Amino acid sequence: MQTAVNKLRKTSSQAECVYRAYKVLASKYHGNRIRTFLNFFEVFPRSMETAWDRGGFLHCTNVNWLLKTLLMHTGRFTGQDVRTC
């Protein structure tokens, strides 16, 4: 995750930072209606590293959590700047 944060810190604006963070997450994770129900208990990951290290399916709430974390660790955003559902 630190590698991605370091790359995001080099962006020239907040908008570019959000766009690139989204691209990182979208290339790594995807959603699936059936798996949302079948893998319900995966909505509660043990740690951020556990969620970050996996690929493929990830619940949307966890993707939002990772997005917020990435943006806040760049130093360009605060917790109040980023709202997730």
The letter for the amino acid at 9 is R
Residue 38: the pLDDT is: 80
pLDDT one digit per residue (tens) for the chain, 85 residues: 999 999 999 999 999 999 999 999 999 999 888 887 887 777 788 888 888 988 899 988 899 999 999 999 999 999 888 886 6
Residue 23 within a domain: yes
Give me the pLDDT at residue 85, please.
64
- Whether 72 contacts 78, CB under 8 Å: yes
Can you read off the two tokens belonging to residue 44?
């509660």
Q: Which amino acid is at 67?
A: L
Element (H, E) at 29: strand 29-30
CA 8 – CA 37 distance, rounded (Å) = 33
Domain that holds residue 53: 2-73
Domain count for the chain: 1
pTM of the model: 0.85
Q: For position 42, what pLDDT does the model report?
A: 76
